[in-house]
Structure 1
Amino acid sequence: MSAKKILSLFLPIALLVTTLGNAQIITSKKEAVKKGVYQKPEEKKSVATIVDKPIPATKQVASVEKPKATKNTKSSKKKNVIVEEEQSDLVVSSPTDSYLSLQLINNAMEFLGVRYRGGGTTTAGMDCSGMVTAVFNLFDIKLPRSSNQMALVGEKVQGDDIKKGDLIFFRTNGRKVINHVGVVVEKIGEEIKFIHASTSKGVIVSSTDEAYYKKAFAQVNRVIQQ
């Protein structure tokens, strides 16, 4: 075999050995980087970004508005109608009548038909002064318990000055002292209508036009401001 052929055979082998000698087995990325075989991709620097924290949801508070005062015209009308009906059934009011006097009369009228009972002040039975004190007590107006003592309270009024709600006094059965009382409910001319507790008929409305009361009439007193 010629030398030229032998050289051609061993030359590739020599080159392979040289290449293998220079080559190294790389078993990790670290080694590959060290050998320049592998380059790590550029790591993006972690930049701390300020992220707005979500605002915690707050409980929704229902806004409460004060209710606007509204006029209850419907109920007001009903009340007015009731008062008007009551007054029309009981007494005829006039512009000069006070609200208190009308209420006194209306409450006194609630006792119509209650039987007479000496010393009584309730619907179970009442006498004349007992009825008057019961009515006035409803309005925190305190009066003496006897008709004779009531006649000393307030001021005396006469003629056209007499109004609803005034107290009317009598000397009955020929007595020389006042012993009976009622509440004026109407004044028509010289006639005075009044509610009182009669010994024979209980609580009724009578008139000074009746002979008995015309003769027994004593005086009229005003105990409330009119």
Structure 2
Amino acid sequence: MKKSILLIICIICFSNCKSSKRSKKQSTTSSQTSEIKSAEETSSEYKISSKEVIEDKEKKVEKKKKKSPKSQADHIVAFAKQFEGTRYKWGGTTKSGMDCSGLVFESFRDSDILLPRISRDMAKKGTKIPLKKVNTGDLLFFKTGGRRNSINHVGLIVAIRDNDIEFIHSTSSRGVIISHLNEKYWLNAFEEARRIL
């Protein structure tokens, strides 16, 4: 009888040991599975974030490409504006004196764009465009005074506001100033607009 009781106790102990081993195995397996799943999720999240980073970089490059002509125009305009108030000097290209074509020539040259030095020769470069399509950085050409048979004056468009085109240029009477194309004198003298950029 003692032997049978002892045998029953041993059987119960062994069965308990097996069940605890099974539960340990199951918990270990389930934790390993959850670790694998979380690793897979993390790697897929990483893949998504890497893809997003690459796409974001590509978008930035595209934006730079789209902006480059505009920012180049902005740079040229900003360079020209620093000469505002400079006195007129025929053939001048510095702050001590500047003529109209000198102002445009130096402003474009600062952006590594070489134009002819004389306004009538500048008018042969780039593409002729209608006034309604002009942008900042485009050039306006004029026939002024008694020399209306050929282009002899150039200005650089700095802004377009309310159907009025503002341009910077150097005049013999007032030096480097910003004028409006809507002013009667400039509108009458206007010949053509051209795009260099």
TM-score, normalised by the number of residues in structure 2: 0.63
Q: Does 1:193 align with 2:193?
A: no
Highest Rg: 1 or 2? 1
Q: Does 1:111 align with 2:89?
A: no
Counterpart CA distance in 2 for 1:141 and 1:96 is: 14
Q: Which of 168, 179, 182 is matched with 1:206 structurally?
A: 179
The count of residues paired between Structure 1 and Structure 2 equals: 130
d(CA) in 1 for partners of 2:138, 2:81? 15
**Partner SS state of residue 105, structure 1:** helix
Equivalent residue for 1:133, pick from 105, 116, 120: 105
SS in 1 for 2:85: coil
| Cα separation, 1, equivalents of 2:166 and 2:72 | 18
**Residue aligning to 2:70:** 98
CA distance in 1, matches of 2:106, 2:75: 13
Of the candidates 99, 102, 115, which is equivalent to residue 143 of structure 1? 115
C-alpha deviation, 1:168, in angstroms: 0.6
Inter-CA distance 120–138: structure 2 relative to 1 (3 Å threshold): same
Which stretches of structure 1, 4 residues or longer, exceed 3 Å deviation after superposition?
Answer: none
Offset at 1:97?
7.4
Distance in 2 (CA, whole Å) between partners of 1:211 and 1:96 is 34
Deviations 1:188-218 (A, max 9, x none): 3542110000110000000111111010001
SS in 2 for 1:103: helix
Which structure 2 residues correspond to residues 163-202 of structure 1 after superposition, within 5 A? 163-174=135-146, 175-202=148-175
Bigger RCO (CA 8 Å, 6+ sep): 2
CA distance in 2 between counterparts of 1:214 and 1:97 reads 27
SS of aligned partner of 1:130: helix
Q: Distance in 2 between matches of 1:205 and 1:167?
A: 13
* Kept in 1: contact 2:166–2:180 (CA 8 A): yes
Q: Which amino acid aligns with 1:125?
A: G
Q: Give me the CA root mean square deviation.
A: 1.6
Q: Aligned letter for 1:127?
A: D
In 2, distance between residues paired with 1:168 and 1:114?
Answer: 20
Once the 2 structures are TM-superposed, how far is the Cα of residue 164 of structure 1 from its aligned partner?
A: 0.2
Gaps of 5+ in 1: 1-94
Structure 2 residue corresponding to 1:218, chosen from 188, 191, 196: 191
Instruction: Please give the alpha-carbon distance, in whole angstroms, between the structure 2 residues aligned to 1:163 and 1:131.
Output: 18
Contact 2:144 2:153 in 1 (8 A): yes
List per-residue Cα deviations over 1:17-76 (Å, max 9, x = no partner).
Answer: xxxxxxxxxxxxxxxxxxxxxxxxxxxxxxxxxxxxxxxxxxxxxxxxxxxxxxxxxxxx
Give the drift of 1:187: 1.8
The question of whether the paired residues in 2 share the 8 Å contact of 1:108 and 1:135 is answered with yes
